[in-house]
Chains A and B, each alone.
Chain A
Amino acid sequence: MTRWVGTSVPRKEDARLTTGRGLFLDDVGRPGLLHAAMLRSPHAHARIVAIDTTEAARLPGVHAVITGADAAASTAPIRPLIPTPVPLHDWCLAVDRVRYAGEPVAAVAAVDRATAEDALERIHVEYEPLPAVVDPETAIRPDAPLLYPDLGTNVLWHDVLSYGDVAGAFARADGVLAERFEIQRYASTPLETFGAIAEYDAGLDGYTFWTNDQRPGLTLGILAESLRVPQARLRLISPDVGGAFGNKRRPAYLLASALLARRARRPVKYLEDRIENLTALMHACNGVMDLELAYRKDGTVLALRVRDIADEGKNLVSPTQHNLIKLGNLVNGYRIGAVSYEAYSVLTTKCPSGANRGIGKPFMCFAVERAMALLARRLDVDPAELRLRNYVGPGDMPYTTPPGAQYDSGDYPATLRRALERFDYTTWREEQARGRRAGRLLGIGIATSVEPAGTNLASYELITGRRAASGSAEAAMVRMEPDGQVRASIGDPASGQGYETVIAQIVADELGLAPAHVHVERGFDSATTPWLYLSGNYSNKFSVTDVGAVIGAARKVRDKLLRIAAHRLEAAVPDLELADGEARVLGLPGRGLSFRELARTAYADVLGLPPGEEPGLEARHAHQNPLAQPVGPDRRVRSQLVFSNAAHCCLVEIDRRTGQVKILKHVVVHDCGRELNPAIVEGMVHGSTVHGLGAALLEEFRYDEGGQLLTATFMDYLKPTALDVPDIEVDHLEHPSPFTPLGAKGVGEGGAIPGPAAVANAVEDALAPFGVVVRSLPVTSERVWRWLRDAPPAP
């Protein structure tokens, strides 16, 4: 029988997406649709003294204008994913005070976007500016300007999590490497911006939303609470989504659109423009990390002590996640027996930090992999060799790290060895030495990583002391239609991952038909798609929960098909097989019934069903990954669940005159367990890696001291183009996870996590003759040029 999982089935989505027939949010039309625009604060921090919308409301074509006062009067505050120590009320529009430049203050709905923007110019806001606080270390100080005076501090969470005998390990060590690293703000910036259409049905007192929101389950809960409507009267639909990478979530925009729609009694669309997207949606959290690494002189790393300050900006939705999530890769792939992690989660007057491909883990990996590179140099050991001495070995799997992460499978040394081989490491080391004598600045960077997948929300109990949500789960539906073909849907709206194809492959294998006969619903519709609070497109979770949900639903349908077939064929279930779109009696060629015939029985000729069998051929299933467990008594927790791994080798050349860093070669060896669709896996590795390279070379949201964003367009905030990055070379190992239904593991973040470290290590290696230490990113031409200029005369 044909098995489809594991083969590169070409994507079903492409037929519409290559021909301009996709349906993205901005392609969705509604009768009488109005267009919204938002007035945003020009100040990083200010008191709103007065707002006058009279003139805007009078402009022809304007149907509704709302401000923070309207939001506070007619909605409840937005419930945070992670509650703050003192409840901090936040509405969809700023009330009384703005806390970052770009924060929405008022919104207008008009006949078209241009008219709505015209109206914004007629809204008069009087602000009383307050001091901005831009730097997280300043924000921690007792005399810092406070975003929320009621909170009495800008620090949302400060704690020390300690695992194992850290003090003892440091006392026993031959040496300690201490460094400070920083990470800048950057973002994956999906090419389609974020937005929503809200439609209010006055007759039903309910709302329908079309949105490219990534976490419909969580968002529906917020909408219901804030709009004070039962969840049953809300419907949320996702069309095609033009990339997401964690960025696409902002319940406030859905709420503002809903208020406008209710007031105007017409549907309202709000879609960010690019400047709004770059200024105000979300940035990957910037931060400062002090890292101490205790080692023996043979290179064995004994312990790690980390102090991590995460700059959340004005993030009240998911603060502290940028600290907590680092527990998943705190020790990276290394056998480090003791760790201490001191966390600060800090508010500043900047754009909210939020989920961005890898959430916090690229920084953690950057710090550890930079430290390994520096230690290798200090001990005069090859950086590859140093890593090989410290890896968790394949025989140690499953291996539990000090904070409680369980590395389920993989061969980290073999992954690095394969990467070195593919990269031709020895040859390039020789070439580097030759080049250096001739004045060429070639550098080789190695970075390796674990890539966690699936989030266990119970881990937030470490912060809040109580459990609101926990575990990791997803729901799916499989229905054999009356014509014998299949329809499936899932609570996780795809944003480019090819779920319609991969889910069809999985269902095809379970039921015994071709993927061409399995139609997977585009996106999400809360009225028809099964979903949970935990549903959504996040946390690299497809392999951890979604696959199990699809298989569970497919097997329920399969079992029922077999029972109906057994009854109709007067055979026993074990004597039947499902293949090629029919149920057959094993060993009796020609004796079988097509799925179409069985479906006719199930839906139409129900007297032909086995006694007691429920009509229909539809099943729902929710899969909860069993690895997720409550927080343990010693504060150990599996914050994430299964672990892929990767090794990156990067070759750079630096232009002495301009400081430009050119990546000549970048090799990735990736292991995400069983590859469900190898072509899709490879594509994700390419794309994810380039996210890492962009963060390393170009991308930075830079603020001035007054909290103004200086890089608010794609002219200033540079994304990697086809000319900035090389042909990424990818190879794979395949160590299936014993803890996921098909042995698959996460794949979306494996390049984004180690990519920045690989480039930084390569640049530092190239600049070794000048004694440069790369402590932050991006390594722009300007920075490299300054390093070269300020370096002592070249040897």
Chain B
Amino acid sequence: MSLITVRLTVNGRQTERAVSPRRSLADFLREDLELTGTHVGCEHGVCGACTVLVDGRTARSCLLFAAQLEGAAVTTVEGLTPAEGLSPLQTAFHECHALQCGFCTPGMLAAAHELLAENPTPTRDEIRDAIGGNLCMCTGYVNIVRAIELAGARIRGAR
């Protein structure tokens, strides 16, 4: 199989790689770039564990091919993490006990990040809607909703 060269920005860093046409973005991130914070839960676009931001919008990295992303800017959980400490969303997840096994967390953070960027004052229903495409098998979602609500309030307060 011939390889395709793709140039994209991942977490702010310019990257150029030759990839197999069938390489998914999830595998590209995890295996070629060793960004293992992005998790793969179902590989058919339902569970949301592999959610990343592509040009600021959430996307399922298991349903995209790396070769599709010429010129795109991809942000993963590694890119959402400050050099020191935790982001307000990560802090709120920690304080609200919004994770148990933590496997869904990177995808949840991406979904929550997109929501709060657009709507810093979401209602609980809007939060549930925003994470409605991300499965969590551990928490029953209650504390995730609380964490996103808390992070929204803090981000507003900081502005």
Given contacts A242-B103, A719-B137, A722-B144, contact A19 B44 (CB under 8 A): no
Across the interface, which residues of A come within 8 angstroms of B97, CB to CB? 8, 10-11, 679-680, 682-683
Q: Contact at B140–A714, with CB atoms within 8 Å?
A: no
A518-554 interface (Cβ within 8 A of B):
none
Determine the residue in chain B with the shortest Cβ distance to A678.
B97
Q: Contact at B137–A14, with CB atoms within 8 Å?
A: no
Q: Contact at A495–B101, with CB atoms within 8 Å?
A: yes
Q: Contact at A17–B41, with CB atoms within 8 Å?
A: no
A572 within 8 A of B: no
Across the interface, which residues of A come within 8 angstroms of B140, CB to CB? 686-690, 725, 728, 751
A21 within 8 A of B: yes
Given contacts A191-B135, A496-B101, contact A27 B36 (CB under 8 A): yes
A471 within 8 A of B: no
B109 within 8 A of A: yes
Across the interface, which residues of B come within 8 angstroms of A690, CB to CB? 140-141
A689–B94 CA distance with the chains assembled, in angstroms: 21
Given contacts A242-B39, A243-B103, contact A20 B137 (CB under 8 A): no
Determine the residue in chain B with the shortest Cβ distance to A680.
B97
A240 within 8 A of B: yes
Rounded to whole Å, the gap between the CB of B63 and the closest CB of chain A is 13
Contact of A721 among B44, B76, B90, B135 (CB under 8 A): B135
A21–B80 CA distance with the chains assembled, in angstroms: 12
B64-86 interface (Cβ within 8 A of A):
76-78, 81, 86
Across the interface, which residues of A come within 8 angstroms of B61, CB to CB? none
B37 within 8 A of A: yes
Rounded to whole Å, the gap between the CB of B40 and the closest CB of chain A is 7
A188–B139 CA distance with the chains assembled, in angstroms: 12
A154 within 8 A of B: no
Q: Contact at B41–A686, with CB atoms within 8 Å?
A: no
Across the interface, which residues of A come within 8 angstroms of B105, CB to CB? 17-18
A723–B127 CA distance with the chains assembled, in angstroms: 10
Main secondary structure of the interface of B (DSSP, over half): loop
Across the interface, which residues of A come within 8 angstroms of B99, CB to CB? 14, 17-18
Q: Contact at A727–B124, with CB atoms within 8 Å?
A: yes
Instruction: Report the tally of A-B residue pairs with Cβ distances under 8 A.
Output: 169
Rounded to whole Å, the gap between the CB of B135 and the closest CB of chain A is 5
Determine the residue in chain B with the shortest Cβ distance to A719.
B135
- CB-CB contacts of A373-386 with B at 8 A, as 1s and 0s? 00000000000000
Q: Contact at B109–A18, with CB atoms within 8 Å?
A: yes
Across the interface, which residues of B come within 8 angstroms of A244, CB to CB? 101
A719-734 interface (Cβ within 8 A of B):
719, 721-723, 725, 727-728
A122 within 8 A of B: no
Across the interface, which residues of B come within 8 angstroms of A687, CB to CB? 100, 137-140
Determine the residue in chain B with the shortest Cβ distance to A21.
B37
Rounded to whole Å, the gap between the CB of B2 and the closest CB of chain A is 15
B4 within 8 A of A: no
- CB-CB contacts of B89-101 with A at 8 A, as 1s and 0s? 0100111010111
Contact of B39 among A8, A114, A192, A498 (CB under 8 A): A192
Q: Contact at A722–B131, with CB atoms within 8 Å?
A: yes
A274 within 8 A of B: yes
Q: Contact at B93–A713, with CB atoms within 8 Å?
A: no
Determine the residue in chain B with the shortest Cβ distance to A721.
B132
Q: Contact at A241–B101, with CB atoms within 8 Å?
A: yes
Rounded to whole Å, the gap between the CB of B76 and the closest CB of chain A is 7
Rounded to whole Å, the gap between the CB of A564 and the closest CB of chain B is 37
Q: Contact at A721–B103, with CB atoms within 8 Å?
A: no
Across the interface, which residues of A come within 8 angstroms of B81, CB to CB? 19-20
Taking residues whose C-beta sits less than 8 angstroms from the other chain, chain B's interface range is: 35 or more
Across the interface, which residues of A come within 8 angstroms of B35, CB to CB? 20
Q: Contact at A727–B44, with CB atoms within 8 Å?
A: no
- CB-CB contacts of B117-159 with A at 8 A, as 1s and 0s? 0000000100111011111111111111100000000000000
A615 within 8 A of B: no
A495–B100 CA distance with the chains assembled, in angstroms: 8
Q: Contact at A19–B86, with CB atoms within 8 Å?
A: yes
A1-39 interface (Cβ within 8 A of B):
8, 10-11, 13-22, 24, 26-27
Contact of A18 among B42, B102, B133 (CB under 8 A): B102
Q: Contact at A686–B37, with CB atoms within 8 Å?
A: no
Q: Contact at B22–A24, with CB atoms within 8 Å?
A: no
A16–B99 CA distance with the chains assembled, in angstroms: 11
A273 within 8 A of B: yes
A114–B65 CA distance with the chains assembled, in angstroms: 14
A497–B37 CA distance with the chains assembled, in angstroms: 20
B46 within 8 A of A: yes
Q: Contact at A714–B46, with CB atoms within 8 Å?
A: yes
B25 within 8 A of A: no
Q: Contact at A723–B103, with CB atoms within 8 Å?
A: no
Across the interface, which residues of A come within 8 angstroms of B100, CB to CB? 243, 496-498, 683-684, 687
Rounded to whole Å, the gap between the CB of B68 and the closest CB of chain A is 17
Across the interface, which residues of A come within 8 angstroms of B7, CB to CB? none
Determine the residue in chain B with the shortest Cβ distance to A113.
B27
Contact of B145 among A10, A273, A713, A727 (CB under 8 A): A727
- CB-CB contacts of A666-684 with B at 8 A, as 1s and 0s? 0000000000000110111
Across the interface, which residues of B come within 8 angstroms of A275, CB to CB? 44
Q: Which of B37, B131, B144 has the most CB of A within 10 A?
A: B37
Across the interface, which residues of B come within 8 angstroms of A20, CB to CB? 35-38, 76-78, 81, 106
Across the interface, which residues of B come within 8 angstroms of A721, CB to CB? 131-135, 141
A245 within 8 A of B: yes
A189 within 8 A of B: yes
A715 within 8 A of B: yes
Given contacts A191-B103, A274-B41, contact A19 B90 (CB under 8 A): yes
Determine the residue in chain A with the shortest Cβ distance to B100.
A496
Across the interface, which residues of B come within 8 angstroms of A610, CB to CB? none
Contact of A191 among B30, B93, B136 (CB under 8 A): B136
Given contacts A17-B105, A26-B30, A715-B44, contact A728 B142 (CB under 8 A): yes
For this complex, 13 residue pairs linking A to B, each with C-beta atoms less than 8 Å apart, are A18-B109, A24-B39, A114-B22, A192-B103, A242-B39, A242-B102, A245-B137, A274-B43, A686-B143, A721-B132, A721-B133, A722-B136, A725-B141
4 residue pairs, one from A and one from B, having the closest CB atoms: A20-B37, A17-B102, A242-B103, A496-B101
Given contacts A14-B93, A274-B43, A725-B140, could you give 6 more A-B pairs where the C-beta distance is less than 8 Å? A18-B93, A18-B99, A20-B36, A193-B41, A496-B100, A728-B142
Spell out B's residues near A (CB within 8 Å): 20, 22, 30, 35-44, 46-47, 49, 76-78, 81, 86, 90, 93-95, 97, 99-106, 109, 124, 127-129, 131-145
